[in-house]
Amino acid sequence: MAAGVSTATVSRAVRGIPGVSAATRERVLKIVERLGYVPSSSASGLASGRTMTMGVVVPMIDRWYFATALGGADRALRAAGYDLMVFNLGGAGGNRERVFHRSMLRKRIDALLVMCMSLTEEELVSLRALDSPSIVVGSNLEGVRHVSIDDPVAVKDAVEHLIGLGHRDIAHLQGTGEYGFDFSVPLLRNEAFEATMQAHGLPVRPEWTALGNFRAADGKAAAARLLDDPGNRPTAIFASSDEMAFGVMMAAAERGIRIPEELSVVGIDDHELSEPAGLTTIRQRPDEQGAFAAGLLLAELAGAARVQPGIQPHELVVRKSTAPPPSPVTT
Amino acid sequence: MAAGVSTATVSRAVRGIPGVSAATRERVLKIVERLGYVPSSSASGLASGRTMTMGVVVPMIDRWYFATALGGADRALRAAGYDLMVFNLGGAGGNRERVFHRSMLRKRIDALLVMCMSLTEEELVSLRALDSPSIVVGSNLEGVRHVSIDDPVAVKDAVEHLIGLGHRDIAHLQGTGEYGFDFSVPLLRNEAFEATMQAHGLPVRPEWTALGNFRAADGKAAAARLLDDPGNRPTAIFASSDEMAFGVMMAAAERGIRIPEELSVVGIDDHELSEPAGLTTIRQRPDEQGAFAAGLLLAELAGAARVQPGIQPHELVVRKSTAPPPSPVTT
DNA sequence: TTGAAAGCGCTAACAG
DNA sequence: CTGTTAGCGCTTTCAA
């Protein structure tokens, strides 16, 4: 080598491995710097079996939750010198199978983060067959470790906030898995909504159950149906995501329905726009969930024992979209 | 090998390279499938010099523009069998230098997409030193190829829409580079705003120039100042991003200022929420820009000649946030 | 503390 | 059409 030392020494020096004298290390590092040398990740990956790369599977990279969680995971990875490889299932197009079956499966990543979707039995098998550690973020898949909030409790907190305000006529704007991705989250939230209503002796009216797919546009369309039924309009709407709650606010605004005087709205997420929009919601922190999950995997790669993560925190944030229901016109 | 053929033949068969009989190929593929064999990317990367991975540098992964562009790029990459490695500069924390200097620099990716930020001279040098093809998305950096809309014209279209409606008192909600990332886009848009106003003989009032950083919360705060100056309030606001325009709408709603009757708002982006929000805006398609740029790089990796991409399209989408100005109280 | 040598699992000539 | 043979640029024993 240029420094008059062997490749082995360079390797040790660059990686900060003990067994090199301080003087030699410094000399090597200086030359490395001057030459702009960067080790080939392919070569070191091949030789060592470690790629220093973590894979993250996301159903859709451009949704708020996933993008935010990805940012959090990335933060943890960068701090540890790991690279981030993103496998976007990308909505409809079917590279889902390919992702799970081929490219990522082996020798490309050291660990895998799966964002918030339910997996087929076959995919679960692939996941377990992967010798790399893996974890799911944002969803509580049975049989797989996951990092997520306690969805049932989060829903309960949101709905009970409404009930505590005096609402009895509460509609639910559900989320649905889209593109056949079957997030397990929406189902959980639906069940929790019904359970909470029942626990308080409140009816769950079928005509007050609307479907969106976690997006504002759908939320708006769904809310339109709820709001255009005069004389039979709910006094409050619980939306399974903030983005759908925005849709409700937009639909209400177009109809001149005042929030919160005539209609209360509560969501889940604490989306970036929720604060300026004044939306009361259940806050969760996808970035911290992502970072936490990535950190867990990183620790395992560093030799730590496999741990079972606890539930992530959520919190009711009361803003300006909820208030007691209007006094009934007829009693 | 298990199939009684050489590794070379397996390699050829798996990669679909000519020079293998159909019968052999089929036999090999079947066994490969049965064994669940997946080639090691490190090994093939080392041997071939191609990693089948494209790098994407983003200033912040969780902003709408970047996440959407990333999704588009990913779509193109997956279709070509490439993997996506994301380098998130992640706001403040300074792994910017590390990204440009070390990990990605060599041997980790075959090509590089840089999202929408201005680079230091040193970074430009690193970029060119990279033997891999590269391209910038969303910004027009001098000296580097880029895929983007014609920002000055986009701004002009937005402002002239307002002027055409009869507005003369137009405020500008500027974006600023945040975290020292110095997007070059905001400056361009500022200049274009002033140029357009001047071309129409309209004044650019300093007190009607507000700063946000492309986010709704900032847009709202900045708009507050604009709207709380009674008797000297603009009749229209041009926001350099849709998210800031949402902030304007929220600030107006809180003050009971009706849009578009009392205040017109126009943005740039056509953010996912713009349609349900009824925001008039200049539409651009970050996903297509990302896909286009990735496709260009992919073509070059496949041997195509280096091309200079053209300007990407934008389009005025008139919705419900713009209307003629209110009749002046005094004339 | 350092160097030599043997692979890691592939691909890419070159033969056959 | 298929097999053989060298490496690709590291890491990792094992000696020195």
Bases of chain C with protein Cβ within 7 A: 1-5, 7-13
User: Closest partner residue to B74 among A64, A90, A220, by Cβ?
Assistant: A90
Between CA A75 and CA A71 the distance in angstroms is 6
Rounded Cα gap, residues B155 and A305, in angstroms: 55
Q: Is the distance from CB of B300 to CB of B111 less than 8 angstroms? A: yes
Closest residue in B to A248 (Cα) is B276
Strands B280-283 and B315-317: antiparallel
Using DSSP bridges, classify how beta strands A146-147 and A170-175 pair: parallel, antiparallel or unpaired: unpaired
Sign of the Cα torsion A130, A136, A141, A143 reads positive
Query: A7: Cβ under 7 Å from strand C?
Result: yes
Partners of residue A57 on adjacent β-strands: A87, A114
Contact at CB, A71 and B53, closer than 8 angstroms: no
Query: What are A59's two structure tokens?
Result: 């159903």
Task: State whether the beta carbon of A24 lies below 7 angstroms from any atom of strand C.
Answer: yes
Q: Identify the pLDDT of residue A177.
A: 67
Write b or e for each residue in A54-74: b if 16 or more Cβ atoms lie within 10 A of its Cβ, otherwise e: bbbbbbbbbbbbbbbbbbbbb
pLDDT band at A327 (very low <50, low <70, confident <90, very high): confident
Which residues share a beta bridge with A111? Answer: A54
Rounded to whole angstroms, the distance from the CA of residue B48 to the C1' of nucleotide C10 is 8
Contacts of residue B38 in chain A, CB cutoff 8 Å? 102-103, 105-107
More confident site: A311 or A21: A311
B327 CB contact with strand C at below 7 Å: no
pLDDT tens per residue, range A104-118: 666 789 999 999 777
Considering only the beta carbons, identify the residue of A38, A75, A253 that sits closest to B107: A38
List CB contacts (< 8 A) between A93 and chain B.
75, 78
Distance from the A247 Cα atom to the nearest Cα atom in chain B, whole angstroms: 7
In chain A, what are the domains?
1-37 (1.10.260.40), 46-148+287-312 (3.40.50.2300), 151-285 (3.40.50.2300)
Block residue for tokens 């990716």: B109
Per-residue model confidence as pLDDT tens digits over A183-221: 678 888 999 999 999 999 999 999 999 988 888 999 999
Of B64, B90, B108, the CB nearest to A78: B90
Give the pLDDT score at B36: 82
Give CA–CA dist B213/B177, Å, rounded: 6
Instruction: Check if residue A16 sits with its Cβ under 7 angstroms from strand C.
Output: no
Protein CA at B50 to nucleotide C1' at C11, angstroms: 11
CA distance B168 to B315: 22
Strand partners, A211: A174
What's at A330, amino acid-wise?
T
Q: What is the pLDDT of residue B179?
A: 46
A6 touches strand C (CB under 7 A): yes
Report pLDDT for A19.
80
Q: What is the mean predicted confidence (pLDDT) over A237-261? A: 96
pLDDT per residue of chain B (331 residues) written in tens, 0 to 9: 666 778 889 899 988 888 888 888 888 888 888 888 888 999 999 999 999 999 999 988 989 999 999 999 999 998 898 999 998 887 655 567 767 766 566 678 999 999 977 777 777 777 777 778 999 998 877 778 999 999 999 999 999 999 999 999 999 999 886 644 556 788 889 999 999 999 999 999 999 999 888 899 999 999 999 999 877 899 999 999 999 999 999 999 999 999 999 999 999 999 999 999 999 999 999 999 999 999 999 999 998 899 999 899 999 999 999 999 998 654 4
Cα of B124 vs its chain's centroid, Å: 19
Q: Which residue has the tokens 């000296």?
A: B143
Distance CA A18, CA A7 (A): 15
Q: What is the pLDDT, as a whole number, of residue A247?
A: 97
Q: Residue closest to D13, CA→C1'?
A: A8
| Three-class secondary structure of residue A41 per DSSP | helix
Name the residue with higher pLDDT: A310 or A165: A165
Give me the CA B7–C1' C6 separation in Å, rounded: 20
Against a cut of 0.85, is the pTM above it? Answer: yes
Q: For residue A179, what pLDDT is reported?
A: 46
On average, the pLDDT of chain A sits at 89
B166 conformational bin, left if phi > 0, alpha if psi -120 to 50, beta if neither:
left
Residue A93 has pLDDT above 60, yes or no: no
Using the predicted structure, report yes or no on whether residue A91 has a pLDDT greater than 70.
Answer: no
Residue B328: its pLDDT value, please?
64
Are residues A74 and B88, on separate chains, in Cβ contact within 8 Å? yes
Q: Using the CA of B49, which nucleotide's C1' is the nearest one?
A: D8
Q: What one-letter code names the amino acid at B164?
A: G
Those residues whose C-beta lies under 8 Å from the C-beta of residue B4, and which sit 6 or more positions away, are: none
Interchain contact, B41 vs A276, CB within 8 Å: no
- Tell me which residue in B46, B216, B250 faces A46 most closely, judged by beta carbons: B46
Minimal C-alpha gap between B65 and chain A (Å): 9
Give the best residue of A51, A52, A78, A319 to mutate against chain B (max B CB count within 10 A). Answer: A78
Cβ(A169)–Cβ(A235) below 8 Å: yes
CB contact under 8 A, B71 and A62: yes
Chain A residues touching residue B51 (CB < 8 angstroms): 41-42
Q: What Å distances lie between residue B45 and A44, A46, A51, CA to CA?
A: 11, 9, 12
The whole-number Å distance from A5's CA to C2's C1' is 8
Q: How far, in Å, CA of A88 to CA of B77, rounded?
A: 10
Three-state SS annotation for chain B: CCCCCCHHHHHHHHHCCCCCCHHHHHHHHHHHHHHCCCCCHHHHHHHHCCCCEEEEEECCCCCHHHHHHHHHHHHHHHHCCCEEEEEECCCCCCCHHHHHHCCCCCCCCCEEEEECCCCCHHHHHHHHHCCCCEEEECCCCCCCCEECECHHHHHHHHHHHHHHCCCCCEEEEEECCCCCCCCCHHHHHHHHHHHHHHHCCCCCCHHHEEEECCCHHHHHHHHHHHHCCCCCCCCEEEECCHHHHHHHHHHHHHCCCCCCCCCEEEEEECCCCHHHHCCEEEECCHHHHHHHHHHHHHHHHCCCCCCCCCCECCEEECCCCCCCCCCCCCC
How far does the CA of A104 sit from the C1' of D2, in Å? 30
Is nucleic acid strand C under 7 Å from B21's C-beta?
no
The more confidently predicted of residues A231 and B195 is: B195
Q: Which nucleotide is nearest to A47 (CA to C1')?
A: C8
Q: CA A158, CA A131: separation in Å to the nearest integer?
A: 40
* AA letter at B225: R
Residue nearest to nucleotide C6 (CA to C1'): A47
